[in-house]
Every structure is written in C-alpha cells, then in structure tokens.
Structure 1
C-alpha cells in the first residue's frame, strides 16, 4: 500500500548511489547477492537475541534491495536478475520470523508459523498473477520499471519492513505484532486472488484508455 510513496522518497538517493556503483563496474546481481548475505546475518543475531544488531542487518538488506533495482535500471533490467531478486527477497522475508521463533520458541513458535504461513499466501498470489499477467501481456501502469507485474496490496514491502523493525524494537510483543500483520497479509492475499482472477478472466478490460483504439 505504501510502496508507491516510499519509492518516490528513496528514488533520488538510490539513483545517485547506483551511479557511483556503476562507475566501479559493480553489477545489480552482485548487490542482490551481497544484500542477501547481509540479511542472512540477521538470523544468528536474532537467535542470540541481539535485536539491535539484527535490525542493522535487516535495514542493510533492504538498502541493497533498493540499490540493485536502481542499478538494474542503469545497466538493463533482465529476467534472470528479476528472478534472483524476488527469490532471495522471499527467502529473506521468511528468515526473519523464523529467527524470532528460534530465539524464543515457547512464546513465538505459533505466531511465527502463522506469519510465515501468511507470507505463503501473499507470495504465491503475487507470483502466480505475475506469471499469468506476463503470459497475457498485461502491463502494470503503476510499476512500469519492475521485471515482473508488481501486484499491490495492503501489505507490500514497505509495510513488511516496518513490521520487522517493530519486531526488533519490541521483541517482547513479537506474537501480537505477528498475528496482526499476518491477518493483514491474508486480507492482501484474498483481495489479490479476487482482483487477479477477474483481471485474468477479462484482460481486455484492464487495458488503459490511452491504449485502446
């Protein structure tokens, strides 16, 4: 829901950083892999209940996630790069709640499992629609520079990172935050399935007016 706003805020600083990285021949895929490695370091920090350290690695991962996209727009967006980026993103998203479960399984296990379950709903509806939209040639009028159709919803990347920040700032309330965000994710899943089904059922109705003849 907030991604289109946050993208406008971070676009300029990311593009400037991407210009500098491109000058040193650093590729978007290298940033994707480096960012994922940083994100994985959040897991042992969470397991050891070092939540401030974990938050640092989470934020660094998200900065890299923005940088790889900015670099890709300079160097050329590729299907392979988009596949790598989205695959590692979803692995990272599931790794964070799992870290909280390992840190405190007695209190966090069920809530963490519910949140990861909800991520399956948002992720599968997101990716399934992207595949079918690409097959039918449906273009996204909002996120035109994404490597796949970016289907919006109540819980997008910005909201997910905000949730992770809250986890790290208030780890004692992990279960409450996880249940609340998981419910919001299921709202996103159901609305995506509903709107995605009707869009794919009648794709011609989704063509922007300026493209109709």
Structure 2
C-alpha cells in the first residue's frame, strides 16, 4: 500500500548510495548475498531473544536489498539477478518469521498463519508476473509499482514497506508479537485474495 510513496522518497538516496558503491569489488549479487546473511543473522538473533540486534540486522538486510537493484541498473540489470533477489527476499522473510516465533515462545499458530499467507500471496504475484510476461502483457494496477523491478507487480494492502515495518515492530515489542502476527496474517491474507482476484481478471 505504501510502496509507491516509499519508492518515490527513497529512489534518489538509494541511487546516490549505489553510485558510491559502484566499485569493481561490489556487485549487485554480492549485495543480495549480504542481505541474506544479515537477514538470517537477524532471524537467529530473534530466535535467541536478542531483539535489538535482530532489529538492526533486519533493517541492514533490507538496506542491502534496496541497494542491489539500483546498482544492477547502473551495471545493466539481468534476469538472473532479479531471480536471485526475489528468492533471497522470500528466504529472509520466512526465516525471520520463524526466528520471531521461536524467540517469543508460546503458540506458533499465528506465525504459521503468517507463513501460509506469505505462501499464497507470493504464489499469486509470481504466477501473475510469469503468465503476464509470457503473454507479452504489462498488466499492473499502477506502473509505478513495477518500474525498475524484474517482475510485473500487483499492489495490495501489504507490500514491502509494510513488511519491513511489521517485522521491525516484532523486535521492538516482542511482548505483543502474537497479536501483531494475527493482525498481520489477516492483512496479508486480504492482499492475497485481492491479488488472486485481480490477477485472474486481468489475465482473462
């Protein structure tokens, strides 16, 4: 829901930072890999209850994820990098949910529902992107969502910006993590339904 505004605000700073990182030893894929390492380390810290460290590592992971795209565009983006990037995102998102679930203890059910919602949501937008691309169609609700990305992108109530905020909130307020997880699972579920319905209608 907030990705268009966030991208508008952050595109300039991220592109300038990518320009500063544009050195022979720094590649987009290495930034993606760094994001994975930082994200998995953050998930590990969450699992052990080191919440401050988990929040910092999570945000650094997302910063690396935000920089690999602008650097790739400076170097000439390729499909392999985009594939690696989206795969890394799903790995880090899922691992962090598991880490938080372990760290807060108690019932894992709300976090399992979050993972289920992620699964359906991700399947819907990845399948839409693949089929739309194969059909030679650039079908999006708002082209600003797909601009600069490797995929056709359907927006929704929950996007990357909201995901970053909620995962950070878990670290800042672990005492209410279960409640946040239930609310978040519902919001992601609404987005999944919206993407399934919208994607089906646009591909007919």
TM-score norm. by structure 1 comes to 0.90
Number of residues paired by the alignment?
Answer: 200
Paired residue for 2:4? 4
Secondary structure at the counterpart of residue 156 of structure 2? coil
Contact kept, 8 Å, 2:43 with 2:97, in 1: the verdict is: no
Give the Å deviation of 1:130.
0.8
Q: Is 1:14 matched up with 2:17? A: no
Could you tell me which runs of 5 or more consecutive residues in structure 2 were left unpaired when the two chains were aligned.
Answer: none
Alignment partners' CA distance in 1, 2:70 and 2:90: 19
Larger CA Rg, structure 1 vs 2: 1
Q: Is 1:31 matched up with 2:31? A: yes
Contact kept, 8 Å, 1:32 with 1:68, in 2: the verdict is: yes
Question: What is the correspondence of 1:74-153 to structure 2 with a 5 Å cutoff?
Answer: 74-107=74-107, 109-139=108-138, 140=140, 141-142=143-144, 143-153=146-156
What's the RMSD between the two structures over aligned residues? 1.1
Paired residue for 2:70? 70
The Cα offsets for residues 52-95 of structure 1, whole Å up to 9 and x where unpaired, read as 10000000011001100110111111110000000010111111
Could you tell me which runs of 5 or more consecutive residues in structure 1 were left unpaired when the two chains were aligned.
Answer: 202-213
Give the Å deviation of 1:25.
4.5
Alignment partners' CA distance in 2, 1:82 and 1:132: 17
Paired residue for 1:174? 177
Secondary structure at the counterpart of residue 22 of structure 2? helix
Which aligned segments of 4 or more residues in structure 1 are displaced greater than 6 angstroms?
none
Alignment partners' CA distance in 2, 1:62 and 1:41: 13
Give the Å deviation of 1:196.
0.3
